[in-house]
Structure 1
């Protein structure tokens, strides 16, 4: 369940680049390619296929990004959007209440009037890409001063984004690629009126629960349909995916159009050692702590179980994913090829007077890892919804006093509309859950920084973490949208004058938060410059280009439908509805393997031979959840929802020996809509 993994990769690492052809299998379909730099020759030679510009543009405009962390696609002319149930779970949770549990019970709108508006969901459709590398680099006048260079780069990016927004009206994001070797301007059309149409029960979408998560064979209907609206009416779309009524077959060439969140394929050995020895163990300790916290909270009753469900699911999912990543890094063989290639590059550089100075980039990366490790326990970014709202409002009011080009990323004019949608979201906030989370965050702050820390002392003021959390949550008015709006409209003067306890906490925390953020920005700048030099060195020595690391921007991956061998057994690439019922029977008595009543009562109506899930060799990662899978004709054949356990090393190493992307089959969704959910009219809209 990759969408939740992307959400949980906390700050502290920088984006870098990847080069094609690094897999141990030279024939592997490795790559998350830019839509403006598709490997046509490779596709032609390996798969006898070359996409046309029209094919690529149609697929690009049919793909969407969820701001909640995932991907999707337009699948009808009247605005239907297909994504995963677990990508939509954030929205499902926000639309649920004590009386209506959409996550567990599912939902079906029988008419447009019954479709439920998501409180703060934004979908992004990529319209265009423009290379702005030269323009940004021309603004960097002092590359040796990391602080000044970061400031100049930030100003250049903010200026470009603002000019683009003013000129086009489109969301405009400058994206760092190849570790800072390139910068592209991505322009998006935003859809902010998004409504829920259909979601199956969790028992169907996450059938098998945590035990089956990241495993295969799978039998999941991890799918949800939403609809985008414009001017209060279903959007009329020119670009949407047609629907294939035939199942995927072994050996079929397929393409994945989605938004992989992040990879670190060509991190230096030292950067990977930092992940293995410091960062991932730190994140896993945090995840395990939060998992226990949420499990205990959910035991308080049925309503607590509902309120904490989505967050706990995300934490458990991330914990399992990062455990797999760490296991891969702890295998000494993982570093053999990495270290060998790095040593060969450095040796070649030492023999090239023209490029020998570039070898210092590897030393710089190593020094940055040491400095990042020192910051791991210094975070003051308390993970509480109410506190984060207060902190963002404070920072926004401070940043608004600055010229646009000097503001922090996310607080510039180009991002203001999206930021305001989040700050003024009507999504429910639950006092009891917030108290539990905030008390634990304050306790963690105490544990990591010590009782003698000045910030800890000011936050506690002689009280326990639980007392502080209780007083803050019960005393704040930040839960009220009008209060938030008044503070934002009043600007810094209103925020500084506010006696709201959560705003006062934000004022205590903000200086240290900014100090650490500034250090991280400088470390990021140093890494960007170093990796840009490594890109230059690698290209000079190996003559390779390839694809950049994932940046939660639209990419094209490809592969073939293919099974694999595991423990001497050949795993078939496809499963069907009959297998789901068999799987449930084999695990009778285990709650996570109980199919929902709707399935059990409709068993006789279902064509049990209909394909349910399939796997392929396409190169995916967190953020690809909800990505459409299309065939050579650009017609939808599947919906990415997971990777198998062997794919969890794909953050830093791709191989197609056993690593597989797992999809809901395209034919499964209309079959379920018609046979199980009595939604024939909705099924008729798919692809039309």
Structure 2
């Protein structure tokens, strides 16, 4: 997951004999796309066509669907550009440039500042840098923290907000094998989708896009993944990992298991309720499997011993070198103390500020409106980062989304999460009186959802436009709830920022700088949902004494369906079954490579040395689940859809001749 401005060109050349040029990198960078709701993609035509996964596009598919038209399940194909469907709130970003602003961020730090004072000073400087960059370039400008605070880079993006759905396959082929096969291999999924970006009502003209390889990749080929990995914790201290193992992950798993039960129960009410809850349920199931794998990794003594040895080696060097010890102190001890002190208010933090007590889109909207009114009264440098002018357009895209809101599903989720809050904090906690009064979670949720008018976009716009006075006078129950809890939520956030975040930011920055001093810059920073490059090879692996081949095929897909009697989640769509005799079973469907990826890389292009697209990342194998903490290419594999399968399916199953012609255009 190398930064695009720090690609190890010489190491790649020595290992694979391929010279990565600046021109090759620039073209790949500008062909790579970030889906701002989480995920990656790439331009694949000069007319703004973007390739990603079905599961990345599923949020848009769900929002475009209705009781009579389920695009998630049934798929979609626009036969003409006039039939392409506009996404209600999707933003795509394309990275234009990266600038190292570390010295500019840090030159506000004065001797004698406390960690909290340093944090505040840096945050104000970051807001100023982002605002100045936006004003100068017109591009979305995000200052990204790298190596825990040892470096700061500003990433500038071109934004696209007119995004239209072009193609998605049926759910049963996109997610064939369902949750049982998720994070496993062999796989047999056509997890792809196509959208198009528009500018001024016309398809965007794109100079840099990826041509689809006509022959794909072969076993042993060097391949690259260009995408936006979300987050990793590979630089975390042992104390931090122990906190994840003993506190954070068990809590999150229990929370998601409860939310999953809510989704299943709601879906059992009927087909329409199942559709409404479907996207949330699938996301929860994916998270549960991923988090269980991470927890199992942290409970593995071998993994923890490895992390302990790495940490001990660096700490020992600092202990032995008086200059380094004086320069950096003992940041590991500072992080250990910080993690212990978080226990005093962690419940309030995750429930109130992080929103676990309010599993509701309507509450989220009310929370945003209340904070927006307050933050707009401040100068940019003093605002919460998510409310600065540099982030305003993206915030409003979400706030004014016309996506449907399902009242009964809102009630079910909100009632459950209010119950979680009561059970976690205890019935006598002061915040319970503000939130529930004397009502049960079910009754309070019904009162809030039935009484609010925030489902209407016009109401949200009017409230936001009329400013703080309108928010203060509002009798909308959701706004009243958000007003009531905001002081407590802000208070616990401030405490976290001053007592935990500021201490750990300084400590992790010092650990990174110490590593640079002792061992050099031999590793990339943890993932930050910014563009990264990973290099690897098409390669199978050994699992439990069995050789896992790198490719699966259409023949294997049908055999897998037969093996399970074509019962869900191994049921194939009728259009596939009816063409079974005509489909070429030898066409490669999925492929594994040794590229290092993580969540957020879904939808990333896999390219060969010619810069042509040979695959589409959609998953990792079971051994990738510890990739948050360590990477080992012995077993960890990236799972992708082979370009040959995508082309074949478009041509021979979906009869998308117009898309094939566009993809083949040179």
TM-score bracket, normalised by the shorter chain, equals over 0.9
CA gap 1:567/1:301 in 2 versus in 1, 3 angstroms: same
Answer yes or no: is 1:114 the counterpart of 2:83.
yes
**Deviation of the 1:589 alpha carbon:** 4.9
Answer yes or no: is 1:303 the counterpart of 2:272.
yes
Answer yes or no: is 1:361 the counterpart of 2:331.
yes
Query: Match of 1:621?
Result: 598
Query: Match of 1:576?
Result: 553
CA contact (8 A) 2:116 2:503 kept: no
CA contact (8 A) 1:119 1:425 kept: yes
Task: Pick from 390, 398, 418 the counterpart of residue 422 of structure 1.
Answer: 398
Query: Match of 1:28?
Result: none
**1:345-379 CA distance string (max 9 Å, x none):** 22221111101132411111111111234443222
CA gap 1:650/1:143 in 2 versus in 1, 3 angstroms: farther
CA contact (8 A) 2:227 2:605 kept: yes
Q: Distance in 1 between matches of 2:192 and 2:71?
A: 14
Task: Pick from 99, 103, 117 the counterpart of residue 148 of structure 1.
Answer: 117
Answer yes or no: is 1:489 the counterpart of 2:489.
no
CA contact (8 A) 2:566 2:572 kept: no
**1:189-211 CA distance string (max 9 Å, x none):** 00000000000011000000111
CA contact (8 A) 2:434 2:485 kept: no
**Deviation of the 1:649 alpha carbon:** 0.5
Task: Pick from 415, 422, 428 the counterpart of residue 452 of structure 1.
Answer: 428
Larger deviation: 374-383 or 228-237? 374-383
Q: Distance in 2 between matches of 1:579 and 1:485?
A: 52
CA gap 1:143/1:248 in 2 versus in 1, 3 angstroms: farther
**1:526-549 CA distance string (max 9 Å, x none):** 111111111121222223442111
Q: Distance in 2 between matches of 1:105 and 1:627?
A: 24
TM superposition score normalised by structure 2? 0.97
**Deviation of the 1:611 alpha carbon:** 0.7
SS of 2:323 mapped into structure 1: coil
Query: Match of 1:443?
Result: 419
**Deviation of the 1:623 alpha carbon:** 0.2
CA contact (8 A) 1:282 1:376 kept: no
Query: Match of 2:374?
Result: 398
CA contact (8 A) 1:173 1:187 kept: yes
Task: Pick from 191, 210, 231 the counterpart of residue 200 of structure 2.
Answer: 231
What 5-or-longer segments of structure 1 have no aligned partner? 1-31
Task: Pick from 645, 648, 659 the counterpart of residue 636 of structure 2.
Answer: 659
Answer yes or no: is 1:97 the counterpart of 2:73.
no
Task: Pick from 656, 660, 671 the counterpart of residue 648 of structure 2.
Answer: 671
Q: Distance in 1 between matches of 2:341 and 2:60?
A: 38
Answer yes or no: is 1:563 the counterpart of 2:511.
no
Q: Distance in 1 between matches of 2:65 and 2:24?
A: 39
Answer yes or no: is 1:505 the counterpart of 2:474.
no
**Deviation of the 1:141 alpha carbon:** 2.7
Q: Distance in 2 between matches of 1:507 and 1:137?
A: 36
Q: Say what the alpha-carbon RMSD is for the aligned residues.
A: 1.1
Which residues of 2 match residues 455-466 of structure 1 at below 5 A? Answer: 455-466=431-442
CA gap 1:540/1:668 in 2 versus in 1, 3 angstroms: same
Query: Match of 1:213?
Result: 182
**Deviation of the 1:519 alpha carbon:** 2.3
The total of aligned residue pairs comes to 657
CA contact (8 A) 1:120 1:425 kept: yes
Q: Distance in 2 between matches of 1:633 and 1:465?
A: 58
SS of 2:619 mapped into structure 1: strand
CA contact (8 A) 2:164 2:197 kept: yes
Which residues of 2 match residues 230-309 of structure 1 at below 5 A? Answer: 230-309=199-278
TM superposition score normalised by structure 1? 0.94
CA contact (8 A) 2:624 2:636 kept: yes
Q: Distance in 2 between matches of 1:436 and 1:632?
A: 51
Q: After the TM superposition, which parts of structure 1 deviate over 6 Å for at least 4 consecutive aligned residues? A: none
CA contact (8 A) 1:215 1:644 kept: yes
Larger deviation: 393-402 or 509-518? 509-518
CA gap 1:371/1:383 in 2 versus in 1, 3 angstroms: farther
Q: Distance in 1 between matches of 2:592 and 2:162?
A: 33
What 5-or-longer segments of structure 2 have no aligned partner? none
SS of 1:536 mapped into structure 2: helix
SS of 1:410 mapped into structure 2: helix
Q: Distance in 2 between matches of 1:59 and 1:229?
A: 21
CA contact (8 A) 1:79 1:228 kept: yes
**Deviation of the 1:142 alpha carbon:** 6.0
CA contact (8 A) 1:247 1:611 kept: no
**1:208-263 CA distance string (max 9 Å, x none):** 01110000000000000000011111111101001101132110000000000001
**1:446-474 CA distance string (max 9 Å, x none):** 11111111110122121111111101101
**1:281-333 CA distance string (max 9 Å, x none):** 11111111111111001000010000000000000000000000100110111
Task: Pick from 560, 581, 584 the counterpart of residue 607 of structure 1.
Answer: 584
CA gap 1:243/1:466 in 2 versus in 1, 3 angstroms: same
**Deviation of the 1:143 alpha carbon:** 6.5
Q: Distance in 2 between matches of 1:89 and 1:338?
A: 37
Q: Distance in 2 between matches of 1:143 and 1:606?
A: 71
**1:524-572 CA distance string (max 9 Å, x none):** 2211111111112122222344211100000000100000001111000
Query: Match of 1:199?
Result: 168
Query: Match of 2:104?
Result: 135
Q: Distance in 2 between matches of 1:369 and 1:633?
A: 47
Answer yes or no: is 1:83 the counterpart of 2:60.
no
CA contact (8 A) 2:95 2:158 kept: yes
**1:460-491 CA distance string (max 9 Å, x none):** 12111111110110100111111100111011
Query: Match of 1:10?
Result: none
CA gap 1:278/1:284 in 2 versus in 1, 3 angstroms: same
SS of 1:387 mapped into structure 2: helix
